[in-house]
Amino acid sequence: MSALLARLVANRLFWPIVMLLVLFTINLVAFPGFFAVTLRDGHLFGSLIDILRNGAPTLIIAVGMTLVIATRGIDLSVGAVAAISGAVACSIILGSPEPANPATVAVAVTVALLISLVLGMWNGFLVAVLGIQPIIATLILMTAGRGVAMLITEGQILTVNSPPFKALGSGFWFGVPIAVIIAAVVFGVAALVTRRTALGMFIESVGINPEASRQAGVRARGLLFVVYTFSAFCAAIAGLILTANTAAADANNTGLFIELDAILAVVIGGTSLAGGRYSLVGTLVGALVIQTLVTTVYTVGIPPIATMVFKAAVVTIVCLLQSPTTNEALSGFRRRLALRAGKGVAAS
Amino acid sequence: MKKLMGIAAAGAMLVALAGCAGGGGAASEGPKALDELVVGFAQVGAESGWRTANTKDIQAAFEEAGIELKFSDAQQKQENQIKAIRSYIQQGVDYIAFSPVVETGWDAVLNEAKAAGIPVVLTDRAVDSKDTSLYVSFLGSDFIEEGKKAGLWVLDQYKDSTEKVNIVQLEGTTGAAPAIDRAEGFADVIRQNPNLEVIESQTGDFTRAGGKQVMEAMLKSNPDIDLVYAHNDDMGLGAIEAIEAAGLKPGEDIKIVTVDAVKDGMQALADGKINFIVECSPLLGNQLVDIIKTLNEGGTVEPRIITEETTFDQEQAIEALPDRQY
């Protein structure tokens, strides 16, 4: 029994999941109907659905980020890429004579995604070919990208009136939010392609020791290209969802700071920023923790002034619980306690 | 640092020289030709339709007046705005105008502007500083008054109500003057009727996405919300989406009161999805140009200039909508 418990605690997903359950409990206490999911107007309705739907963009970006981080890299440009893709799609839809036509939306989405591939390849080029440190290489696009998005929208918030586009962010398919379905597909494809083939292992090997993997015949250059392009692609999908959610492209605010949320999701999920082993399931849990945290703030009614402190406290606790040093200290403490208890028993 | 001091010293010498020539300090240099004037403007960002209209109006007004305008966008970050103001000081612009992102933390940089002899005009938002000599004028709306106007409508709307009225408030960016004052003015007025109660108040950061997400969560935890008071139209528009997704009718099942009156908001008001909008006019450009001209000619301006504003209900919105510029 205790061996099972010890194995559970040792699992790197143990503490994030505990934190998720704790957050759920806090919500349940503050609002007893928290877990209630009902069918309203033919679609699912409830707090949990909100968490999944609002968390979808973060999760999608975090999936791409996981693979980048596994190669010992980082992609700071995802928020800017999200803003660009939203801006591109909205300006195409606005410029067309039939904004409500699904074909128009399909063109807009395709162009936005294609542009993101180019942006991702740019990042890949800087990192893989020019050998610039990832944090600097992607910082370029992070800063410049918002400017590009501003240029596309001409500094305006572009409001589009296009039901098919809006459905991407707030629509439902068989009662399930379309955003959640998209996130599930991205997650599923990433998991299948990297875990059912050797790709995942190559990525990890590049992250653990680039030189050794090169000598073993892994082509790091191509791999980095793929990983950064995929990350930008994910960012563009998330950007489209975020933009469609409010039916407005806001170059300044779409995906603002989402790179930090995505990195946090990856880290909470137990993937090390030093590269190497990664866990997509961990990233999923991490993204859910982050979104639940946001929803908790609103549900419990934490005053806006204290919001940041509350979030920081939760994240700090998760990171502390996960850290090997803290765990060692804790288990040492437990051992001493057990020892003392044992002595107590012996004495009596 | 040395360099900065050098520039400051050089600036001081220049001022002293000008003083000798003019015989009475920097202020009596005499008016400059308008096309020689340079004004630095540090905008908050482009966080809402209102802000964009504000930016466009200011840029247009300066272009028309033939005054050079240096424009910077702080993307809602105070440190960016401080950097922009510092760079204006270094470039030696004639006047600086800016809309502070938040109320506090401006004394140091404004003192630098003062030391460099550059008059500062605040537009749209105030700073919380005891030293009023740091700026010559504050041009903008009276946010407390706006909150009061919104509150008065709510008071009137529910004057016969004997039941409790559940109000939720979507606040602006935490710490920003409009968020603080609009909440204060509103609370002051609705206090008169004990049935009116703000049951929850949360920040939506003045954005649609923020308003939507906050409203979604509030709708779940508080099933009977009667009225939403949003500190700007964009958050109100986000709230509309959330209310519709919950299968309710915005404007009927849940009433919505907002502040700003940008075009998208007015459209929603005309469509019956918003019930009342308090105007907060972004068209400050001409008034700002007038202030700069007056200062340039050596005149004095009022320390507080309030923009002219009104309110709209649904019928008035239908009338006003066709010639709405922003």
Structural domains for chain A: 13-23+43-324 (1.10.3470)
Q: Does A294 touch chain B (CB under 8 A)?
A: yes
A177-186, A290-299, B16-25, B52-61: which range is least confident on average?
B16-25
To the nearest whole Å, the CA of A305 is away from the closest chain B CA by: 7
Band the pLDDT of B131: cuts 50, 70, 90: confident
Predicted local distance difference test score (pLDDT) of residue A187: 97
Given an 8 Å threshold on Cβ–Cβ distance, is B221 in contact with A157? Answer: no
Q: What is the CA radius of gyration of chain B?
A: 22
pLDDT in tens, A82-94: 999 999 999 999 9
Domain B143-280 has CATH 3.40.50.2300: yes
pLDDT in tens, A56-87: 999 999 999 999 999 999 999 999 999 999 99
Domain boundaries, chain B: 31-140+282-308, 143-280
Given an 8 Å threshold on Cβ–Cβ distance, is A252 in contact with B45? Answer: yes
Whether A347 has a pLDDT exceeding 70, the answer reads no
Whether B20 has a pLDDT exceeding 50, the answer reads no
A32-46, A121-135, A216-230: which range is least confident on average?
A32-46
Give the mean model confidence (pLDDT) for residues A98-114. 95
Instruction: Name the one residue in this structure whose structure tokens are 């009338």.
Output: B319
Whether B306 has a pLDDT exceeding 60, the answer reads yes
B212 interaction partners in chain A (CB closer than 8 Å): 245-246
Predicted local distance difference test score (pLDDT) of residue A59: 97
Average pLDDT, chain A: 91
Given an 8 Å threshold on Cβ–Cβ distance, is B217 in contact with A146? Answer: no
Band the pLDDT of B111: cuts 50, 70, 90: very high
Q: Does A175 touch chain B (CB under 8 A)?
A: no
Band the pLDDT of A265: cuts 50, 70, 90: very high
Q: Which of A303-307, B23-27, B77-81 has the highest mean pLDDT?
A: B77-81
To the nearest whole Å, the CA of B72 is away from the closest chain A CA by: 12
Q: Which residues lie closer than 8 Å to A206 by C-beta, 6 or more apart?
A: A71, A72, A213, A218, A220, A223, A224, A275
Handedness of CA A321, A326, A327, A332 (dihedral sign): negative
**B31-140+282-308 shares its CATH topology with B143-280:** yes
B179-183, B221-225, B314-318: which range is least confident on average?
B221-225
Predicted local distance difference test score (pLDDT) of residue A312: 87
Q: What predicted TM-score, i.e. pTM, was given to this entire model?
A: 0.83
Given an 8 Å threshold on Cβ–Cβ distance, is B216 in contact with A155? Answer: no
Class of the B31-140+282-308 domain? alpha beta
ipTM: 0.84
Average pLDDT, chain B: 87
Give the mean model confidence (pLDDT) for residues A272-301. 92
A294 interaction partners in chain B (CB closer than 8 Å): 213
- Which residue of chain A is at minimal alpha-carbon distance from B199? A301
B221 interaction partners in chain A (CB closer than 8 Å): 30-31, 33, 47, 298-299, 301
Q: Which residues lie closer than 8 Å to A94 by C-beta, 6 or more apart?
A: A158, A160
Give the mean model confidence (pLDDT) for residues A36-47. 89
Angle between helices B233-245 and B208-221 (to 10 degrees): 40
Which of B55, B213, B260, B263 to probe the A interface (max A CBs under 10 A)?
B213
